[in-house]
Amino acid sequence: MAEKAYINPVVLQWARKTAKMTVEDAAAKVSVKVERYESWEKGEDYPTIRQAQKLAHDFRRPFALFFFPKVPRDFQPLQDFRKAGSIELGTASTFIIREIRQKQAWISELNQESGEKPLPFVGTFSIKDKPEQVAADILSTLAIDPSQYKKSNIINEWILAAEAQGIFVSRSSFIHSRLTLDSEELQGFAIADPYAPFVFVNSDDWNAPQLFTLVHELAHIWIAETGISNEVESAIIGDRNKFHPVELFCNEVAASALMPKHVITQALENGFGYSYAEVYALAKKFGVSSYALLVRLYRIGMLALPQYTMLKKQADIGFQEFLQKEEVRKAKQKESEGGPNPYLLKLNKNSRLFTQTVLDAFRGGVIEPTHASNLLNVHVNKFPKLESLIYG
């Protein structure tokens, strides 16, 4: 008979609930009947060691935690800045938030112990300031000029610029192949820590919304408002009462940073005819969606409501056509290339800056191989693959 794991049933129940899983889900993970699983949480019976290890893995908790005498202290929930009426965060969102917070806590402690000074731009402003001022400071700090991007992949330029200033940027759309993130549930979040600010962007979206989300979350850093966001672009116009004031402010900052008024004015002075084709071309130049540009033009008084309404309808049609083409393109890409590089996905999820910091700490003997492997979720013998992507 397999040896049983005499775990604390209260901790088991806590671990399941904080993983946002039902009793039925948990029972299915270890292929037992619901009644039997319930007996474990009641302390009437115990799982085998292998079953307990499987549950620890699926709940994203250390196995040893199950033997604690009481429920351990956990991270406090991030402030929820999402649109009113948003659904409760699911398992995937819960896991990615927990994972990033563990990484952020480690890197913040490391930076403080190493004597690093707090980053001066974290919390420089508040929502009482003008969004244009915050946007200008973000552009100045990151040395980005939206009128003249240096790279064709605009979001990568922003990420590299942010990480050069000590902001960790993570992008992912999944926990694993069967547990993916829903952009309607969670588009991004920011942890506004002066020693290790962290931004997460759900890459389930296409690049333009991701870019807007990234800059929106950077605005959270600049006003020191830690929290999670969804339906980012839509908070610019429409029923604004459904949105948190912080979200409305950060969206105005993002719009001002990505589409500065003086840059738009220069573009319009060069014979801009307000056709949808011209709107689409200008939006692509800025790296934003046609919808975001239309809203920006409307809000700064460069587009009348009738024009906005007409062009918005055309943008909706164009977006649907774009999605259809994207599905075909991704299918062909997957067929020809066999899917994306798994180590590139790991690198983006961990953040390039975080990965580099962990590898440097590992090479310098600051942390043990097992710790480094756990932080990056990559076996030590595969570290060279990550390094080749960072420095290649």
Torsion sign (Cα): 363, 368, 370, 371: negative
Instruction: Give the CATH class of 9-67.
Output: mainly alpha
Amino acid 321: pLDDT: 82
C-alpha 310/C-alpha 303 separation (Å) is 11
Average the pLDDT over 250-257 and give the result: 96
For 140-169, what is the mean pLDDT?
Answer: 95
pLDDT (mean) for 197-222:
94
CB neighbours of 364 closer than 8 A, spacing ≥ 6? Answer: none
Q: Which two tokens stand for residue 201?
A: 């962007």
Over residues 47-95, the pLDDT tens digits come to: 999 999 999 999 999 999 999 999 998 888 899 999 888 889 999 999 9
Taking the CB of residue 34, how many other CB atoms lie within 10 A of it?
14
329's tokens: 């393109």
pLDDT at 35 over 90: yes
Q: Which tops the pLDDT comparison, 76 or 28? A: 28
- Quick one: pLDDT at residue 386? 92
Answer whether 199's CB lies under 8 Å from 221's CB.
yes
Distance of CA 255 to the CA centre of its chain: 19
Percent of the chain with pLDDT over 70: 95
Which DSSP symbol is given to 90?
-
Q: Helix (H, G, I), strand (E, B), or coil: what is residue 370?
A: helix
Handedness of CA 81, 188, 323, 273 (dihedral sign): positive
Q: What is the pLDDT of residue 177?
A: 77
pLDDT digits (tens, 9 = 90+) for 115-142: 999 999 999 999 999 999 999 999 999 9
User: How do residues 289-316 score in pLDDT, each as one tens digit?
Assistant: 999 999 999 989 999 989 999 999 998 8
Separation of alpha carbons 327 and 324, rounded Å: 5
Cα separation, 374 vs 111, in Å, equals 19
| The pLDDT of residue 322 | 76
Mean of per-residue pLDDT scores for the chain: 91
Please give the residue that has the higher pLDDT: either 248 or 328.
248
User: pLDDT at position 383, please?
Assistant: 94
Distance, in Å, from the CA atom of 323 to the CA atom of 343, rounded to the nearest integer, reads 26
- Which pLDDT does position 74 carry in this prediction? 82
Which residues lie across from 229 on neighbouring strands? Answer: 188
30-39, 115-124, 178-187, 212-221: range with lowest mean pLDDT: 178-187
pLDDT at 219: 98
Sign of CA dihedral 72, 20, 234, 172: positive
Q: Parallel, antiparallel, or unpaired: how do β-strands 198-202 and 168-172 relate?
A: parallel
In whole angstroms, what is the distance from residue 287 CA to residue 300 CA? 19
Q: What are the strands, taking DSSP E only, across 192-337?
A: 198-202, 227-229
CA distance 198 to 168: 5
Helix/strand/coil for 60: coil
> What is the distance in angstroms between the CA of the first residue and the CA of the last residue of the chain?
52
Residues in CB range of 136: below 8 A, 6 or more apart: 256, 257
Pairwise pLDDT comparison (359 vs 232), residue with the higher score: 359
Residue 76 identity: Q
Binned at pLDDT 50, 70 and 90, residue 151 comes out as confident
Residue boundaries of the structural domains of the chain: 9-67, 74-258, 264-337, 342-391
- The predicted structure's pLDDT at residue 337: 58
Q: Report the pLDDT averaged over residues 354-364.
A: 95
Which residues does residue 200 pair with via DSSP β-bridges, in sequence order?
170, 189
Give yes or no for residue 248 having a pLDDT over 60.
yes
pLDDT digits (tens, 9 = 90+) for 366-390: 999 999 999 999 999 999 999 999 8
H/E element, 116: none
At residue 274, what are phi and psi to the nearest 5 degrees? 60, 30
111: pLDDT strictly greater than 70: yes
